[in-house]
Amino acid sequence: MRDVPNRYQGLPPRTSDMLYNIVRKFYRGAVSHYDLIQEKKEEVRVACQKSHGNQNDAQLLQALTTLFLEFHFYVTCWLQIELALYRLAKKDEALAKVREAFLPVLEKHLAVRQQLEQTEACVSAQLEQEGDIATLIEQDAYRFGAITFTVDEQSLQSLHALYQAIQAARQEAAENEGVPKVE
């Protein structure tokens, strides 16, 4: 498994077509997982209501753990897209600009992924936050280190925008390859 801090070490060689396929595969994976995550959020809300905010309730802890495991899958898709984009950006200036433009949102998702490597610690950290766990769940704003995060419409729209920017740069590169160079 590739960890976030060392993600660029020992990357196997890949053609541009293979890298674009990786981007597409993990983009689709993250998008298709979005609805499941929303279902798991609802399960957390229901478990919280049943436990009346009791932070030691086993059902609530299990639901929160499951939700964070689903978050982990989602941000792992972001990691794989970032790895492919990193390598594509080395080959193409337009993709380097895409990577640079999306670096803050990429880094946020990757920082959350790094935290989620220790899922149980992340669950415990939620329970140690100031205030009531029920409020945290209702606000759908979980803390991962210094980052407040959830998989929401904003995250999904960022993913769509990233994918569209990569595809636009790919299309532009393909069009430029077909144009004879003037010397």
DSSP state of 182: P
- Quickly tell me which residue has 């959020």 as its tokens: 41
Q: What pLDDT is stored for residue 181 in this prediction?
A: 43
Quote the CA–CA distance of 167 and 165 in Å, as a whole number: 5
Residue 163 clears pLDDT 60, i.e. is over it = yes
Quote the CA–CA distance of 96 and 86 in Å, as a whole number: 8
- The terminus-to-terminus CA distance of the chain in angstroms comes to 47
What is the mean pLDDT of the segment spanning 42-49? 94
Q: How many helices (H) and strands (E) does the chain have?
A: 6, 2
Determine the 3-state secondary structure of 144 from DSSP: strand
Q: What pLDDT is stored for residue 175 in this prediction?
A: 78
Q: What pLDDT is stored for residue 135 in this prediction?
A: 87
CB 3 within 8 A of CB 114: yes
Mean of all residue pLDDT scores within the chain: 89
Predicted confidence band of residue 13 (pLDDT cuts 50, 70, 90): confident
Residue 164 clears pLDDT 50, i.e. is over it = yes
Residue 37 clears pLDDT 80, i.e. is over it = yes
Q: Where are the domains of the chain?
A: 17-174
Residue 80 clears pLDDT 60, i.e. is over it = yes
- pTM here is 0.89
CB 170 within 8 A of CB 22: no
List Cβ<8 Å contacts ≥24 apart for 163-166.
163/23, 163/27, 163/81, 165/98, 165/101, 165/102, 166/20, 166/23, 166/85, 166/88, 166/95, 166/98
113-162 per-position pLDDT tens digit = 999 999 999 999 998 876 778 888 999 999 999 999 999 999 999 999 99
